[in-house]
Amino acid sequence: MDDLIKSMGKSLLAFDKVNFERDLTRREKKEKEHLKYEIYWAKFKKFKADFSKTAQKVALMTNYEHG
């Protein structure tokens, strides 16, 4: 009976370890996805600002040449 209890205890510990590792992996994936998302939007906002500045310069140059 003691062996059965010890065996079940070991099985439970192994099961808990697998679940813990799986949960950790999920969290790491979510954090990585969130980081990729944040980087994407930061780059997009910078691109948008740079594009807007360039478009304004081109518009001013075009008006200067034609005006």
Local confidence band at 66 (pLDDT 50, 70, 90 cut-offs): low
* C-alpha Rg value of the chain to the nearest Å: 29
Distance CA 40, CA 35 (A): 8
Per-residue pLDDT of 9-60, as tens digits, reads 888 888 888 888 999 899 999 999 999 999 999 999 999 999 999 999 888 8
Candidates 44, 67, 46, 45; CA nearest to 59 is 67
Token representation of residue 56: 């304004």
pTM: 0.55
Q: Output the pLDDT for position 7.
A: 87
